[in-house]
Amino acid sequence: MEEEQPEFIQFTPNVFSRIAPDIYLERNLKEGIRPNLRKYEEFRSVQVNNKGFGRYDESNPTKSSVLGSSVVKVGKTTVICAITGGIVSDDDILDQATTSSNPFATVYPLVEIARGRSGACTDEEMIIAQKLYETLKSSGIIRKSALKIRYGYKHRTSDDKVEVIFPRNGPQTDGTNDDNDQVMADGNTAETIPFEDKQYSFVLYANLQVFSRTGPPFDICWTALIKALKNTKLPYTFLDEDTTSSRTVKSRSGANATIERSQLICDPVLNYPIKLEEKKIGYSSTFGLVTIPDGEKSQEILLADIEGESEESASTSLVHVVVAGDKLTSLTIHGGSKAGGNGSRITKDFIKKSIDLAHQRSLHLSSI
């Protein structure tokens, strides 16, 4: 009987990259080009839109509670970041970040990666949010003093007009604690205002939406967060005192009780930009390292800004750097030549090369 010859199975690139991502990547790299048609050390193009949808945005003032926003598009992926805020008393203990002696503040991020269905958040979303939180805290971009509130007062003048007095030097603190003495009425009146001991601070929340994820989204999320913080404007706040008298009904003497209530109100128009430590602002890059067999020996290739399923699953060795100026803020290396995939040994040369490229990328990102 004649034996049947097995047929060759042919796949389209999409299917092939799913079934055997490592071989797919290897075949592409042997041609000298990546599956996404970029060069090895080429990053994706970036578009940043700083014209936001914030409450104090000059072009489009809204009544929303968004204080700062940004839209960042890298390759096919879009990240929308909105910064909102809240006010807490400094006596409240939110978490360790607020109580420790660390002079730097951070934001509380929430990351959502659109994946066409709803449900509980994934591990990746949680990890990115936590990484954003930790990296911002350790980078020292926001000082706690930048979020301190120096509030004004609303009061009634002698001719029965209601006016709001703000601290003379503006609502932003310079980190010193002599704020209370500086406060005087901003008009002709020079009366001193009794300041309450209670101190308040802003807390910032960041809501990040990732659309069409094509690779590890941390870099884009970090860029979006920084760009949004850069145009974040904090409101002027003032203390509105409200005094009401009420009569207790059931008491025999019918005693009067005066209830004083004060609340912090955010001005709908007046605002000031948040003070960031400009020198410490840096941007993040991710590099994958793959080994492809090349005859007898193998060739090691550094891929910048990894994208696509094949690159992501095949390059198990990763170098992830956040660079600010000539310093590094954060660096994570995942070695994994033995972890499966095409990962390779991390050498010092690769680390140095990654840092160099990250510097260039950071310079480019800070210019746009």
Partner 1 sequence: MVLPEYQTSLLNKVDGSSTISIGEVKVICSVTGPIEAKPRQELPTQCAIEVNIRPEVGVGSTREKNMEDKLRVVLNGTINKFQYPRQLIQVHLHIISKSQATENNLKDLHACINGAYLALIDANISLLSSFLSTYAVINDDRLIFNPTSEQIQSSISHHLVCFDIKSGRADELLFVDSVGEFTEGELMTVLDQSIEEIESMNKIVRKTITEKVSRDYIWKY
Q: Please, what is the minimum distance in Å from the beta carbon of residue 349 to partner 1?
A: 11
Closest CB to partner 1 among residues 180, 337? 337
Nearest to 288 by CA among 265, 271, 305: 305
d(CA 199, CA 210): 36
Closest CB to partner 1 among residues 69, 284? 284
The pairing of strands 107-113 and 152-156 is unpaired
Q: Please, what is the minimum distance in Å from the beta carbon of residue 271 to partner 1?
A: 31
Q: Please, what is the minimum distance in Å from the beta carbon of residue 354 to partner 1?
A: 10
CA distance readout (Å), 332 to 135, 191, 318: 11, 56, 8
Q: Please, what is the minimum distance in Å from the beta carbon of residue 66 to partner 1?
A: 23
Q: Please, what is the minimum distance in Å from the beta carbon of residue 141 to partner 1?
A: 11
CA within 13 Å, CB half, 287: 30
Q: Which residues contact 224 (CB under 8 A, 6 or more apart)?
A: 70, 71, 72, 79, 80, 81, 208
Q: Please, what is the minimum distance in Å from the beta carbon of residue 326 to partner 1?
A: 7
Residue by residue, DSSP assigns 226-290 as HHHHHT-EEEEEEEEEEEEEEE-SSSSS--EEEEEEEEEEEEEEEEEEPPB-GGG--EEEEEEEE
Closest CB to partner 1 among residues 266, 324? 324
**Partners of 237 in the beta sheet?**
266
d(CA 321, CA 346): 14
Residue 59 per-residue DSSP state: S
Q: Please, what is the minimum distance in Å from the beta carbon of residue 61 to partner 1?
A: 34
Three-state secondary-structure class, residue 311: helix
Closest CB to partner 1 among residues 125, 179? 125
Closest CB to partner 1 among residues 57, 312? 312
Binding positions for partner 1, rule: CB under 8 A: 96-97, 99-102, 123, 126-127, 129-131, 133-135, 138-140, 280, 316, 324, 326-340, 345-346, 348, 351-352, 355
Closest CB to partner 1 among residues 60, 130? 130
Closest CB to partner 1 among residues 83, 324? 324
